[in-house]
Amino acid sequence: MSAVERLVVIVLFDGVDLLDVTGPPEVFSLARRETEAAAGYQVVLAAGTLDAVTTSAGVRVLPDITFHEASARRIDTLLVPGSVEVDGRRRVHALTDPAVVGWVRTLAGRARRVASVCVGAHLLAAAGLLDGRRATTHWSTADQLAAEHPLVEVDADPIFIRDGDVWTGAGISACLDLSLALVADDLGEPVALRVARQLVMYLKRPSGQSQFSVPLEPVSTTRRVEDLRHHIMRNIGGRLTVADLAAYAHVSERQVTRIFKAELGTTPSAYVEAARVEVARNQLESTDATLERIVSDCGFGTTDTLVRAFRRRLGTTPTDYRRRFRATAGRGT
């Protein structure tokens, strides 16, 4: 490894989420391609042995080195993915193998920085690396992380969080956002921007942007919630208070709040705001509609309300969002 290369060690074990393992190397590889200098990354997969590891997708992956071999090297970035099990009621539970946790603790001591992807935060927490820190994970296991590790300040909303030399990322595809943020931190925003364009991604979703995304929200287990979701999207520009949603569903306001919390992990008001922001984002990206028109179409009421919602959920303003998106789309490769 040359002096300008950064060694990235990705922890590998049976049942690991496949995209958590394969997504970041794509980002780091493109970062090298997009830099004219020799600066770049060397990515290796480390496991307990050199035997093939079977991922959660059933795809088998071969490690490059063992944990023991990795512990003898100077690591720039230790990247820790995770794994889950799902019970008969579709409840998700993050898994932590004590042997893997022990190696994570050891390897972290050799690393300049440590980052978890998705439920990999549970491994960091079990290793004591998140105590006293703010961290995120996939929204489906955030309550478990908070309950099992009370010394960790769990925030389930952002797509990634940096707390000193420890980074934590949210669910699945957010591994790309986290990796882009690491590249930006190492090589600068222009390089990360070029990588994002190659990945056909919006660069770069701010760390404070919510991992909650309306079009990607998993299908609910009840027809009532699905009806409510469709009602919200059909009437995005109209009144959608908790009282309005309760009346539509023929339940009390307290009951509709309980339904949203149990089925979608959020409140009715937060869901409506997220839905409105998603629709507004699409209009900013694909139309020349004025902010006043977007306010009306999306039901924000006032421009100030629109701006506040964007700052809260995306960490930027509607004007800056549109400018950044169009600037990215308009540059040549």
Q: Rounding to the nearest 10 degrees, give the CA dihedral for residues 268, 221, 54, 195.
A: -40
- Angular region, 176: left φ>0, alpha ψ -120 to 50, beta rest: alpha
DSSP, collapsed to helix, strand or coil, labels residue 260 as helix
Catalytic, 118? Answer yes
Query: Tokens 């998140």 correspond to what residue?
Result: 130
Collapsing DSSP to helix, strand or coil, 249 comes out as helix
Q: How many CB atoms lie within 10 A of CB 147?
A: 9
Q: Which of 19, 45, 117, 118 is catalytic?
A: 118
DSSP assignment of 273-291 equals HHHHHHHHHHHHHH----H
- Burial category of 302 from C-beta neighbours within 10 Å (exposed 0-12, middle 13-18, buried 19 and up): exposed
**What percent of the residues of the chain are helix, what percent strand, and what percent coil, each to the nearest 5?**
50, 15, 35
Question: 113: helix, coil or strand?
Answer: strand
- Cα–Cα distance between 7 and 20 in angstroms, integer? 17
How far apart are the C-alpha atoms of 329 and 114, rounded to whole Å? Answer: 32
Q: Cα(74)–Cα(71) distance, rounded to whole angstroms? A: 8
The most distant pair of C-alpha atoms in the chain lies apart, rounded to whole Å, by 66
Nearest to 249 by CA among 262, 232, 265, 261: 232
Give me the active site residues, please: 118
